[in-house]
Amino acid sequence: MPKKVVPEEARRRRRPTRQGAVLSETLIVRTALRVLREHGGTGLTARRLGAALGADPSTLYRYFAGMDDIARAIGNELMGRAMDGWAAAGDWRSDLRALGLAVHASYLAHPQAAVLTASRVSGRPREIAVDEAILGILRGTGMPDAAAVRFYHAFIDLSLAFAALDAGALALSEEARGADEDMWSSIYARLPAASHPNIAATAPMLAARMPHSAYPVLLDTLLNEIAAELAAARPGG
C-alpha cells in the first residue's frame, strides 16, 4: 500500500541535503530526469535518486507516494516544458501544429523519460494545461464538442505515440541506432527487383527518409482532416 504523502506545508525539509540543496518536488523531478538520462528507465530507483540528491531515499516519500508517482510527475514536467515554449497566435491550425511539435520535441529532449512516461496520465496541473489548450483551440473553431473530443483524442495520442516511438530509438546506444538505420542501405537497398520490386524501386528514398520521424507528416494529415470537416460543416460546404 503506498505511503500517504505529507501535506506541502508540513513536508519542506528545513536542512539542506548533503549537496547543499533544499529538497522540493521540482528538484526531485529535475534530478530524476538526469538519473534517467544517465541510467535509463530501469535505473531510476529510490536509492539512486536519493544518492543523486544527497538525501536519504525515504525522504522522497515526504513528497511523492512512490516511484510511480514520481514517474507521473516527470510526465507532467515534460508536458509543462512543451507549454513553456508555446503561445497561441489565434490561428487554430498553426496553433495546434506548433503545440504538437512542442510536445513531441519536449519528450524527445529526454528520451529515456519519454519511454517511461509517454503512455501515462499524470492528472497534474501542467499536463491539464496542455489538454485545456488543445480542447480550447478545437472548440474555438465552432465544431461540436463531440468532434472536439474526437480530434483531441487523435491529436494527443498521435503526439505521444510518436514521442514514445522516436524516443525509443534515441534511447538506444549510438551503435545500435546506427546499425538499425544502416539496414535501409545495407539490407533493403540490396534486395533484388525480381523478388522485391517495390522495395528495390524505392530503396534510395527509403534510406533517406526512414531514419527521420514521420510525426510531422501524420500531424499535417490529421490537421487536414480537421480542416476538411470544418469546411464540410460550413453552409454550402
Pick left, alpha or beta for residue 118 (phi over 0 → left; psi -120 to 50 → alpha; otherwise beta). alpha
Q: Give 195's pLDDT tier (boundaries 50, 70, 90).
A: very high
> How many CB atoms lie under 10 A from the CB of residue 160?
21
Q: How far apart are the first and last CA of the chain?
A: 57
Q: What is the rounded CA–CA span in Å between residue 53 and residue 62?
A: 14
Domain 1-65 has CATH 1.10.10.60: yes
The predicted-structure confidence for 135-180, as pLDDT tens digits, reads as follows 999 999 999 999 999 999 999 999 999 999 999 999 999 999 999 9
> Residues 6 or more apart from 93 whose CB is under 8 A from it?
223, 226, 227
User: Cell for 35?
Assistant: 538519473
For the cut 60, the answer to whether the pLDDT of residue 5 exceeds it is no
Q: What is the rounded CA–CA span in Å between residue 147 and residue 138?
A: 9
The predicted-structure confidence for 92-104, as pLDDT tens digits, reads as follows 999 999 999 999 9
DSSP-assigned states of every residue in 113-177: HHHHHTT-----HHHHHHHHHHHHHHHHTT--HHHHHHHHHHHHHHHHHHHHHHHHHHTS-HHHH
Every domain of the chain and the residues it spans: 1-65, 88-233
Q: Give how far the C-alpha of residue 185 lies from the chain's centroid of Cα atoms, to the nearest Å.
A: 30
CA distances 107 to 117, 165, 185, 223, Å, are 9, 11, 29, 21
User: Cell for 41?
Assistant: 528507465
Helix ranges, 40-91 (H): 46-53, 67-84
- Mean pLDDT across 78-90: 95
Q: Give 207's pLDDT tier (boundaries 50, 70, 90).
A: very high
Give the DSSP letter of residue 4. Answer: P
- Which residue, 191, 212, 213, 211, is CA-closest to 202? 191
Class of CATH domain 88-233? mainly alpha
Quick one: pLDDT at residue 15?
55
Whole-number percent of the chain with pLDDT over 90: 87
CA distances 213 to 106, 148, 179, Å, are 14, 26, 17
Q: Give 236's pLDDT tier (boundaries 50, 70, 90).
A: confident
Claim: this prediction has a pTM higher than 0.85? yes
* Exposure b/e, 108-120, CB count within 10 A at least 16 = b: bbbbbbbbbbbee
